[in-house]
């Protein structure tokens, strides 16, 4: 409502002082200023000076359910304001972009949809049946496959709010190497009493956890009382924590449940 526009980072890829022209659906054009960009999540915020703008409403992606309707809006092949229709195919998709392909976008948590997404849809919204934003269209796996991915609205809003406030998004981290127990048959056999959790495989020297009581071999099951079942869930819980403040981890160590700060 203040003229802020959320889009993908690569849509405005270039110097921060570059001139961008934005044309609205009512035909009005405005010069735009880059407020902030975050390459790791492929998100950017730009700003135009305009009044009486319509406001796109956000839904919480945490409440989005697999199977519900999804509508993708964008400009595929430069055909502006195109709309395609489908469903939410899955949530919490990670490891979509191989590390060898991208060294930046490694914290991946995507909504998968079969709504037809093509080149040019990136930066457009994925909305629910009520027209509320549930994601930002980001990438596809092959043309005409029905496999597209969107950044969840909760994450997009968290990042964009920070970009608007400070021009950057700062991530908290634990400074540990991790593996999901459920992601490995070997780990499931090694920890037979633990169905979900994240194994600590290494602790970064001089990192945030280096002087804590956390140990290699601990399985983290909760962060500040909230259950974490996978590597991505742990990242999601830690990412937005206030820098320099302690977090309470619940860990399993040799079949005992402990709390570690």
Would residue 42 show up in a list of annotated catalytic residues for this protein? yes
Q: Is 87 a catalytic residue?
A: no
Q: Catalytic residue among 122, 153, 160, 209, which?
A: 122
CA dist list (Å): 202 to 192, 198, 217, 218: 21, 12, 8, 10
| Contact between 105 and 97 (Cβ < 8 Å) | yes
A 10 A CB-CB count for 231 gives 20
Burial class (CB in 10 A: 0-12, 13-18, 19+), 145: exposed
Report which of 225, 223, 236, 220 is spatially closest to residue 171, judged by C-alpha positions: 236
The span from the CA of 159 to the CA of 243, in Å, is 15
Q: Which of 42, 109, 114, 218 is labelled catalytic?
A: 42
Q: Is 217 exposed, middle or buried (0-12, 13-18, 19+ CB in 10 A)?
A: middle
**Residue 234 to residue 241: CA distance in whole angstroms:** 12
| Residues acting as catalytic residues | 10, 42, 122
């Amino acid at each position: 409502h203040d003229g802020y526009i959320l889009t993908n980072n690569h849509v405005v890829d270039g110097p921060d002082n570059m001139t961008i022209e934005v044309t609205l659906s009512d035909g009005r054009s405005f010069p735009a200023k880059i407020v902030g960009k975050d390459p790791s999540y492929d998100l950017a915020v730009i700003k135009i000076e305009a009044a009486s703008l319509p406001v796109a409403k956000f839904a919480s992606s945490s409440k989005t359910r697999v199977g519900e309707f999804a509508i993708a809006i964008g400009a595929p092949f430069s055909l502006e304001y195109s709309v395609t229709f489908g469903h939410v195919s899955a949530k919490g998709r990670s490891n979509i972009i191989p590390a060898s392909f991208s060294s930046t976008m490694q914290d991946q948590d995507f909504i998968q949809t079969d709504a037809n997404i093509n080149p040019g849809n990136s930066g457009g919204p994925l909305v629910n049946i009520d027209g509320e934003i549930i994601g930002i269209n980001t990438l596809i796996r092959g043309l005409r496959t029905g496999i597209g991915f969107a950044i969840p609205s909760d994450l997009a809003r968290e990042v964009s709010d920070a970009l608007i406030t400070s021009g950057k998004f700062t991530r908290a981290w634990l400074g540990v190497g991790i593996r999901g127990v459920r992601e490995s048959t070997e780990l499931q056999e090694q920890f037979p009493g633990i169905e979900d959790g994240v194994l600590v495989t290494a602790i970064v020297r001089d990192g945030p956890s280096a002087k804590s009581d956390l140990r290699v071999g601990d399985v983290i099951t909760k962060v500040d009382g909230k259950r974490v079942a996978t590597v991505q869930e742990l990242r999601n819980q830690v990412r937005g924590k206030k820098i320099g403040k302690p977090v309470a981890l619940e860990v399993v160590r040799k079949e005992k449940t402990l709390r570690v700060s």
